[in-house]
């Protein structure tokens, strides 16, 4: 079978950006209307576009959105600002994740304690992206290799680009604060903070979770350590092709628009595959119920007669 050659289509990626911007603008208009219904719809739409922007940022960090690395970098930085997602920090961790997947050195930019400690509290902590927000705010305000306030060290020079990202976030937050104080408006609360925390973070968690959970963590074979979800045209657009995650790990140099073609070439080889996100989450729910029932039986058997 003929290998798929990498092809970058800036027009297609620009169209994706314009569509996301249009839907975001609609959401901003809806939350500006004095109506509870439009506030709810607008908040969901804005948060969804914030989460979608991270998926577009993911394509930029692989330099497959535009042919120019500078354009990928600039657009990638801007796409991450609403969710406080540093382009350079995300890129550094994510590319290492690609290199080390299936080994003890594997690291991820978005970490989840729920996978190590599956409690309801841990689930909520990850669901609302608390760990990510804490790291981002610490980098904006406090010390650390990526933070704006650092102790002098030659090693810190490697993190200069990340500090630029967080400096832009600090400037953005300062502008938001001054605007809210001087105008007394709650628009930014409705247009940024609430959608970011209560919509974007949960959606991003639900998109990220299927990628490797339940797969073989110590296998270096993408067909074993990664999951693909075929999904619908909507999920393909919303995740920007990242639903074909096995394919993305097989050929990260390909554009996200080429993932479906690579999936069709490898159909039938997947060890972890679902035809929809609904199918994935219902299967996880069934496994969780079965696991809970087994624990209850085990605890009953241990009780003294």
SS3 track for 158-211: HHHHHHHHHHHHHHHHHHHHHHHHHHCCCHHHHHHHHHHHHHHHHHHHHHHHHH
293 pLDDT above the threshold of 60: no
Nearest CA-CA partner of 133 in 181, 173, 180, 177: 173
Contacts of 249 (CB under 8 A, 6+ apart): 98, 101, 222, 225, 226
3 pLDDT above the threshold of 90: no
How much is the pLDDT for 283?
87
Write out pLDDT tens, residues 138-183. Answer: 888 875 555 555 444 444 556 888 989 999 999 999 999 999 999 9
The answer to whether residues 146 and 139 touch, using CB atoms and an 8 Å cutoff, is yes
Write out pLDDT tens, residues 214-247. Answer: 888 889 999 999 999 999 999 999 999 999 999 9
- 214 versus 199: which is more confidently predicted? 199
- DSSP code of residue 154: G
The answer to whether residues 253 and 4 touch, using CB atoms and an 8 Å cutoff, is no
How much is the pLDDT for 145?
59
- DSSP code of residue 256: G
Q: Give dist(CA 52, CA 42) in Å, integer.
A: 15
Q: What percent of the chain has pLDDT over 70?
A: 86
Q: What percent of the chain has pLDDT over 90?
A: 70
* Mean of per-residue pLDDT scores for the chain: 88
How much is the pLDDT for 144?
56
64 pLDDT above the threshold of 60: yes
Question: Mean pLDDT, to the nearest integer, of 66-89?
Answer: 97
Confidence band of 95 (pLDDT split at 50, 70, 90) = very high
């Amino acid at each position: 079978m003929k290998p798929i050659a990498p092809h970058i289509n800036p027009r297609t990626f620009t169209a994706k950006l314009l569509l996301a911007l249009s839907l975001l603008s609609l959401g901003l208009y809806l939350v500006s209307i004095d109506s509870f219904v439009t506030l709810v719809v607008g908040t969901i739409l804005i948060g969804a576009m914030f989460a979608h922007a991270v998926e577009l940022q993911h394509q930029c960090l692989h330099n497959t959105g535009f042919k120019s690395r500078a354009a990928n970098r600039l657009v990638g930085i801007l796409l991450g600002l609403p969710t406080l997602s540093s382009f350079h920090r995300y890129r550094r961790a994510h590319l290492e994740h690609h290199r080390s997947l299936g080994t003890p050195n594997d690291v991820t930019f978005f970490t989840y304690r729920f996978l190590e400690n599956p409690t309801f509290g841990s689930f909520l902590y990850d669901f609302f992206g608390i760990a990510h927000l804490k790291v981002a705010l610490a980098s904006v305000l406090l010390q650390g290799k990526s933070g704006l306030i650092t102790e002098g060290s030659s090693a810190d020079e490697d993190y200069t680009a990340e500090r630029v990202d967080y400096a832009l976030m600090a400037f953005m937050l300062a502008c938001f604060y001054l605007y809210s104080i001087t105008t007394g408006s709650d628009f930014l609360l409705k247009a940024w903070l609430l959608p970011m925390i209560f919509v974007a973070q949960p959606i991003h968690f639900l998109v990220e979770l299927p990628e490797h959970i339940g797969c073989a963590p110590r296998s270096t074979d993408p067909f074993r350590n990664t999951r693909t979800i075929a999904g619908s045209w909507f999920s393909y657009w919303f995740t920007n092709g990242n639903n074909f995650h096995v394919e993305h790990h097989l050929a990260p140099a390909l554009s996200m628009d080429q993932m479906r073609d690579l999936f069709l070439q490898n159909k039938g080889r997947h060890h972890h595959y679902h035809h929809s996100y609904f199918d994935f989450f219902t299967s996880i729910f069934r496994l969780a119920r079965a696991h809970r029932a087994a624990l209850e039986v085990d605890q009953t058997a241990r009780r003294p007669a």
